[in-house]
Structure 1
Amino acid sequence: MKYIITLSLLLISVFSHASTKLDPKLAIFEPYLGTWEASFSMAEGQPPMTDVGTWERALNGKAIRTKHSINDGVYGGESFIFWDKEKEQMVFYYFTTADFFTEGTLEITEDGSFIAYEDVTGSSEGITQVKSTSSFKDGQFTVTTQYLKKGEWTEPQQRIYSRSNKEVIFK
């Protein structure tokens, strides 16, 4: 009986660890797993924005699923990040509540940061591309983003995300 209990506990431990394991190609994203929050301003005179997002293991560890909402669902989106064997690079798709989506690639840098390059389809604001750089340090991550809008790159915007207990809300 003691042997069966020990074996059962060992199997539970092995299977629970296996169910949280990421594909080695996705290991760079391990620190990002969980829920995050950043507050920021868009323009003078505009109300502040709060972005709440979650990063989670998906598809048996073969993908990362992210979802986020700004100001409790005024805007939001979901993405899947995965290794594309044919392209031999990290790719992602991002779908939004604003009737547009993006398709992109990720470049992992030597310092462990990553750069996302996105092609935008369906933006009513005239945005056709997005470039963002994300880096993780001291339990927070920083995202710096630029938009190619009507043929010109915007000034970089920076957001710093910290761990959060809030929920992503879609309306």
Structure 2
Amino acid sequence: MHRRTLADARRLALTLALTLASAGLLAACACFPDRAPAYGAPTAAQAGSFGALTGLVGKTWRSEPVAEGETGPADISAWSWDLGGRVMVNRHALEDRSYGGVTYVYENGQTGSLDYVYVTSAGFHTTGTFVLGDDGSWTAEEAVTGHDTITRVRSTGRLTPEGTMTMTSEYFAKGEWSPGRNVVYASVDADIPKITGRLAE
């Protein structure tokens, strides 16, 4: 992997996670090693609260950049249910094992919104809300805590008729929004890499 600045590496990792994370761009499937048990599928009513995001569960996804010239390690991301179907969990890691994170998505009992928290191996975390679109898409905007420059991220994702997941993102840093990454995830038979290192500086 080519060396890059810590800020660029974190930006890449944060984007991948959102596909997170979102996917929104977020683990584990009980049928694979190194993944936590699902602890029960949701009821039909519970699943309805998560909309199109339910299509992510029980699968492992691998990212591929769409824009020409984009480089960096692929992201491996797996989704599952937890707490009897009240929470969606995403666990992900970059293939070079330098970075990963876990996202918990849940219906806010007070507001009815679909909120989430994302905790990373790089020491920062985010909180945000998914908004489900009538066309099967979802958007997310989150506040970032503990990152050197990025304070907000917003992204849009969807499952395609071909069975892939797409995600685009933007970052808010130094008073302005900047384009993030445009990524497609395909379903794969793979394990989440074990995180062994740190992001390159």
- With the length of structure 2 as denominator, give the TM-score of the two structures: 0.70
Q: Deviations over 1:2-37 (max 9, x none)?
A: xxxxxxxxxxxxxxxx93335231242221111000
- Structure 1: 5+ residue stretches without partners: 1-17
- Structure 1: which 4+ aligned runs deviate by more than 3 Å? 41-44
Partner of 2:119: 95
Residue 59 of structure 1: how far off its partner (Å): 1.1
| Aligned partner of residue 154 in structure 1, secondary structure | strand
How many equivalent pairs are there? Answer: 152
Counterpart-to-counterpart distance in 1, 2:105 and 2:78: 13
Counterpart-to-counterpart distance in 2, 1:28 and 1:118: 19
Q: Which entry has the higher C-alpha Rg, 1 or 2?
A: 1
Tell me which of the two structures has the higher relative contact order, counting C-alpha pairs closer than 8 angstroms and 6 or more residues apart: 2
1:35 aligns to 2:60 (yes or no): yes
Is residue 67–residue 182 contact of structure 2 (8 Å, CA) maintained in 1?
no
Residue 144 of structure 1: how far off its partner (Å): 0.5
Residue 48 of structure 1: how far off its partner (Å): 2.9
Partner of 2:86: 62
Partner of 2:100: 76
1:133 aligns to 2:156 (yes or no): yes
| RMSD of aligned Cα (Å) | 2.1
Matches within 5 A, 1:46-61: 47-61=71-85
- AA aligned opposite 2:142: E
Q: CA 1:104/1:157 → structure 2, altered by over 3 Å: closer, same or farther?
A: same
- Structure 2: 5+ residue stretches without partners: 1-38, 197-201
Residue 42 of structure 1: how far off its partner (Å): 9.2
Counterpart-to-counterpart distance in 1, 2:66 and 2:164: 19
